[in-house]
Amino acid sequence: DSGVTQTPKHLITATGQRVTLRCSPRSGDLSVYWYQQSLDQGLQFLIQYYNGEERAKGNILERFSAQQFPDLHSELNLSSLELGDSALYFCASSVVPSENIQYFGAGTRLSVL
């Protein structure tokens, strides 16, 4: 168990809908990262937060947004969902953003039908 909690584990929804994925980092970790992994593909970095502030942005679509709350949990919001958004979404956390090991949650599997 990595100590990073993601909910829900599975999500099935329809095109055009909006969903929210939730992540609780390891105790003491200030930085949160979101990744998208399509079937049998690599990890696509979406966005990073550190202590509530956006730190880095990757290939995140405009339809997607995220935030990190004062209690350090994070949410990833996906809107106007398309079939191609079906993927595994991972959250990871680290103590600090710089050069630190990332601990991954078990992921949320999103299926858009």
| Residue with Cβ nearer other proteins (15 or 59) | 59
The string of DSSP codes covering 70-94 is TTS-EEEEE-S--GGG-EEEEEEEE
Quick count: other Cβ atoms within 10 Å of Cβ 75?
16
Task: Give the length of the chain.
Answer: 113
Q: Quick check: 45 binds other proteins (CB under 8 A)?
A: yes
Q: Quick check: 113 binds other proteins (CB under 8 A)?
A: no
Instruction: Report whether 2 contacts 102 (CB < 8 A).
Output: no
Judged by CB under 8 A, the residue of 24, 78, 102, 112 near other proteins is 102
Quick count: other Cβ atoms within 10 Å of Cβ 84?
10
Judged by CB under 8 A, the residue of 14, 27, 42, 83 near other proteins is 42
For residue 38, the minimal CB distance to other proteins (Å) is 12
Question: Binding residues for other proteins, per CB under 8 A?
Answer: 2, 40, 42-43, 45, 56, 90, 92, 97-99, 101-107
